[in-house]
Chain A
Amino acid sequence: MKHNKNRILLIDDEPGWCTLLKSELQENGFDIEYETNAKNALEAVSSFNPDAVLLDVLFGDTNKGKSIFKRIKNSYPDLTVIMLSSSVADEEFMLEDYPGCAFAFAKSQLNSGKDSVYREFTENIKRAIDNANTTSDSMQEKFPFITGKTKAMSRVCKEVLNTATTNATIFITGESGVGKGLIAIAVKNKSRRADKQFITKSCADFPNENILISELFGHEKGAFTGADDSHIGIFEEAAGGTVFIDEIGDASLEAQGRLLRFLQEKTLRRMKGSKDIKVDVRIVLATNKDLDSLIKTGKFREDLFYRLNQYRIHIPPLRERKADIPDLLAHFIRKFNEEDDKNILVETKKGKKDCLRADVLALLKTHDWPGNVREFENTVRRAMINAGDSNILQTDYFNLKSNKERRKRSLDIDELVDEVFDRKWRGKDKWIEFTKMYTANGRRKEILQKCVHRLKSNGHNGNIRYHDIADLFGITENNMRQQFHTLDIDWKKLKKL
C-alpha cells in the first residue's frame, strides 16, 4: 500500500524521547509511530510497514539495539534503518557494528533545540529512504552520467546510495578511465553535504612530498624552503564538505601516516604547526594501483589499507561489462552531436537503436579497452569526426587496432620508439595503453632505456632529465621518476652510457 507521507517507526525504550521525536518529526511531514518494548520490535515493523526505522542502540542496561537490528535486517533486508545513540555517533564504528544501516545519529545533536538541526535530520531521513527506494529502472535517472545497465554497474550505484548518507570514508578502486572521479561526485551529490564544498586533489600531481602534505594539511610559515607564508590545506578549506583524493597509491608514507591519523582522530596539525585543529570533512579516496603489491614492497601502509578497505566501491573495467557498449555508444554520440554540432543518428523515430550498426557494435565489443570508458569516449569522438557529413557511423571510421594486431605491434620495439618520438604515444590514454601493452615485467624497461639512448643521440648528451622523457609520453616528471625506480633502471649509469 502506498502512503503519501513517509512512515517512520521509532524503537526506543525511553518514552520521553519517543514523544519528543514523534512530535518533531510529525511537524516535518512524517507519519510516525513508536515502540518502547524491544521484544515487540519485529511485530511493530510488520504491522506498521514503515519506510524507515529509527532504532536506539541501548535498551535499559544492555546493547539490545544490535540484536534487534540483525533481526530486522534478516526479515526486511531493504528496509532503511537509522541508528540512534545518546551522545556519540562515530559512523565508521556504527557502520561496522550495524552493516547496512543508513546512517547513525547522535540524539545529543538535537540538544541545541535549533530548527535547522531538526530540518537537517529530517532531510537525511528522507534522503536515506529515497536512496533505498531506488530501483534499477530509476537508477539511470539518479545517475545520468553512469551509462550502463549491467549488474556490475547497478551494484556500483547501489553501493553509492547505501554509503552516501553516512559520513564514512569511501575508497574507490578501478583501472584508469573507469570513472572514479564521477563516482566520487555521485557520493557527494547523494550525501548530506551535497551543497557544501567539494575539493579534488590528485597525489600524483605533487612531485615533492612536502608540497603534497602541505596541500592536504596546510603549513605554517617556514615549514620548508619556500614556505614564506602560512597556508591552509584542503581539509580545512573544505570544512563541512567533501574532499576527493585521487591516486592515493602515489602518496608518500609520511603523507599516508598523517592521513591515517586524520581519519582516526578527525584532527590535523599543519606542517610545523603547534596545535591540533578539529575538522569536519568527508573523505573519498581512489586509486588505480594494486595496493596489495604496494604493501608487499613497503610503499603503502597496511593499517591505512585496512582502514580504507572497510567501505570500498570497485568499478569494473569496460572489458568486463561489454554489454554496456551499445548504451555507452548511444550516450557519447548524443553528447558529441551536441558539443561538436554533429548529426549522427542514434535512434529511429520509433526509438529503436537500430541506427547503431551491428558490425560497429561487434567491432567495439572485440576491443579490450585498456583505457576504459575514457578511451571509448575518445574513440567515439574521433570516429564521429572521421564520419564527416555522414549520419551513420561505420566501422571504417574507427581507427581501432585489434588486440591481435596490438600484440603483434608490441614486438617491434624500434618502430615503437619512432612513434614515441613522433609524439604518437603522448597523453594519459596513450600512456595507459602503453603500460598495458608493455608491462613492468615485459619490455617496458627496454623501451624506456631505448628512449633515453635516442634522446642522447638526438643531442641531449649528458643533460637529459626525467622531464625530457616524461614529456615524450605527456606524463608528470614524478610519474616517470617512479617508473625508473619501479623498473630498477640506474638513471645515472644510463645517462653515462
Chain B
Amino acid sequence: MENIDILIHKLNNIIGLIESCINRLKNADEDALKKRWLFMKDVITTTGRDRIDKEIVFCKKLENTTEKVFKETYINSGDQLSEADRYYKAMFDLLDGTNGFSEESRDMTLTYGDRLVGILKNTINELKELKIETQ
C-alpha cells in the first residue's frame, strides 16, 4: 500500500469513529440519549486524546521523505490536521470531564464533531486529488 493510501485509510478510520458516534447521538430518541452519550464518551476516551497527534506525526514523516513536488500537500494536510486536533481535543476534554449528560454538552460535542469531520473530509479529498495527479 502506498503511503498516501495508508494516510487516507487512517483518516477515514478516525472519521468513521467520530461520525458514527455523533450520528448515533443525533439519531437517538429521548430514551436512548443518555446511553448514546455515555457510549460516545466510552469510544472517544478509549481512542485517546493523542489520536490525531499520531497522524500529524505520520504526516510529518511523509513531508520529510517525499519528493519536493508533494511536500506542499503534506505540509498543508499537517496544518489541517492540527486544526482538526484542536476540535478533537476540545471534544475529548468535554466528554472526559463531564459526568452526566446535558443538552448543552451534547450540542457543543456535536458542533466540535461536525467541524472535525468536515476538516478531515476536506483533507482526504485533497490527498485523493494528489493521488490522481500522480497516477
**Chain A complexes with chain B:** yes
The interface of chain A, by Cβ under 8 A from chain B, is 14-20, 23, 58, 61-63, 85-87, 107-108, 110-115
Contact B1 A113 (CB under 8 A): no
Query: A114–B48 Cα gap in the complex (Å)?
Result: 25
Please tell me if B76 contacts chain A, counting CB pairs below 8 Å: no
Please tell me if B86 contacts chain A, counting CB pairs below 8 Å: no
Known: A14-B13, A58-B6. 18 other contacts (CB 8 A): A15-B48, A16-B17, A16-B44, A17-B17, A19-B43, A19-B46, A23-B42, A23-B43, A86-B10, A86-B16, A87-B8, A87-B9, A87-B16, A107-B13, A110-B20, A111-B15, A113-B21, A113-B22
Within 8 Å CB of A108, what residues of B? 12, 15-16
Contact B19 A16 (CB under 8 A): no
Contact A20 B12 (CB under 8 A): no
Within 8 Å CB of B15, what residues of A? 108, 111
Contact B42 A111 (CB under 8 A): no
Look across to chain B and name the residue whose beta carbon is closest to the beta carbon of A56.
B13
Look across to chain A and name the residue whose beta carbon is closest to the beta carbon of B7.
A61
Within 8 Å CB of B22, what residues of A? 113
Please tell me if B26 contacts chain A, counting CB pairs below 8 Å: yes
Contact B47 A15 (CB under 8 A): yes
Query: A63–B12 Cα gap in the complex (Å)?
Result: 16
Q: Helix, strand, loop or mixed for chain B's interface? A: helix
Within 8 Å CB of B16, what residues of A? 17, 86-87, 107-108, 110-111
Within 8 Å CB of B17, what residues of A? 14, 16-17, 20
Look across to chain B and name the residue whose beta carbon is closest to the beta carbon of A13.
B13
Q: Within the complex, what minimum Cβ distance (angstroms) separates B15 from chain A? A: 7
Q: Within the complex, what minimum Cβ distance (angstroms) separates B55 from chain A? A: 11
Query: A79–B75 Cα gap in the complex (Å)?
Result: 44
Within 8 Å CB of A113, what residues of B? 19-27
Query: A107–B10 Cα gap in the complex (Å)?
Result: 12
Within 8 Å CB of A23, what residues of B? 39, 42-43
Contact B47 A16 (CB under 8 A): yes
Please tell me if B131 contacts chain A, counting CB pairs below 8 Å: no
Contact A86 B13 (CB under 8 A): yes
Contact B42 A19 (CB under 8 A): yes
**In the complex with contacts A61-B58, A108-B12, A114-B46 CB distance below 8 A:** no
Contact A20 B27 (CB under 8 A): no
**In the complex with contacts A61-B58, A110-B16, A111-B15, A14-B23 CB distance below 8 A:** no
Q: Within the complex, what minimum Cβ distance (angstroms) separates A105 from chain B? A: 12
Please tell me if B51 contacts chain A, counting CB pairs below 8 Å: yes
User: Total interface residues on B, using CB and 8 Å?
Assistant: 28
Look across to chain A and name the residue whose beta carbon is closest to the beta carbon of B54.
A60
Within 8 Å CB of A110, what residues of B? 16, 20
Most chain A CB atoms below 10 A, which of B8, B21, B24, B39: B24
Within 8 Å CB of B26, what residues of A? 113
Q: Within the complex, what minimum Cβ distance (angstroms) separates A20 from chain B? A: 5
**In the complex with contacts A16-B51, A17-B13, A61-B6, A111-B43 CB distance below 8 A:** no
Query: A58–B5 Cα gap in the complex (Å)?
Result: 11
Within 8 Å CB of A86, what residues of B? 9-10, 12-13, 16
Within 8 Å CB of A18, what residues of B? 46
Residues from 24 to 42 in B contacting A, C-beta threshold 8 Å: 24-27, 39, 42
Look across to chain B and name the residue whose beta carbon is closest to the beta carbon of A112.
B23
Query: A16–B19 Cα gap in the complex (Å)?
Result: 12
Q: Can you name 30 A-B residue pairings with CB atoms under 8 Å?
A: A14-B47, A15-B46, A15-B48, A17-B13, A18-B46, A20-B17, A20-B21, A20-B39, A23-B39, A23-B42, A58-B10, A62-B1, A63-B1, A86-B10, A86-B12, A87-B8, A87-B12, A87-B16, A107-B16, A110-B16, A110-B20, A111-B15, A111-B16, A111-B20, A113-B19, A113-B20, A113-B23, A113-B25, A113-B26, A114-B27
Within 8 Å CB of A16, what residues of B? 17, 43-44, 46-48, 51
Query: A329–B48 Cα gap in the complex (Å)?
Result: 66
Contact A115 B27 (CB under 8 A): yes
Within 8 Å CB of A61, what residues of B? 6, 58
Within 8 Å CB of B25, what residues of A? 113
Q: Within the complex, what minimum Cβ distance (angstroms) separates A25 from chain B? A: 13
Per a CB cutoff under 8 Å, which of B6, B8, B43 touches A20? B43
Look across to chain A and name the residue whose beta carbon is closest to the beta carbon of B15.
A111
Query: A36–B12 Cα gap in the complex (Å)?
Result: 18
Within 8 Å CB of A58, what residues of B? 1, 6, 9-10
Q: Within the complex, what minimum Cβ distance (angstroms) separates A111 from chain B? A: 4
Query: A454–B9 Cα gap in the complex (Å)?
Result: 71
CB-CB nearest 8 A-B residue pairs: A113-B23, A16-B47, A86-B12, A113-B24, A111-B19, A87-B12, A19-B46, A15-B46
**In the complex with contacts A15-B48, A61-B58, A87-B12, A111-B23 CB distance below 8 A:** yes
Query: A393–B104 Cα gap in the complex (Å)?
Result: 82
Within 8 Å CB of B6, what residues of A? 58, 61
Query: A335–B56 Cα gap in the complex (Å)?
Result: 68
Most chain B CB atoms below 10 A, which of A17, A85, A113, A115: A113
Within 8 Å CB of B51, what residues of A? 16
Look across to chain B and name the residue whose beta carbon is closest to the beta carbon of A107.
B16
Look across to chain B and name the residue whose beta carbon is closest to the beta carbon of A58.
B9
Q: Within the complex, what minimum Cβ distance (angstroms) separates B59 from chain A? A: 12
Within 8 Å CB of B19, what residues of A? 111, 113
Within 8 Å CB of B13, what residues of A? 14, 17, 86, 107
Within 8 Å CB of B9, what residues of A? 58, 85-87
Query: A113–B110 Cα gap in the complex (Å)?
Result: 14
Query: A86–B19 Cα gap in the complex (Å)?
Result: 13
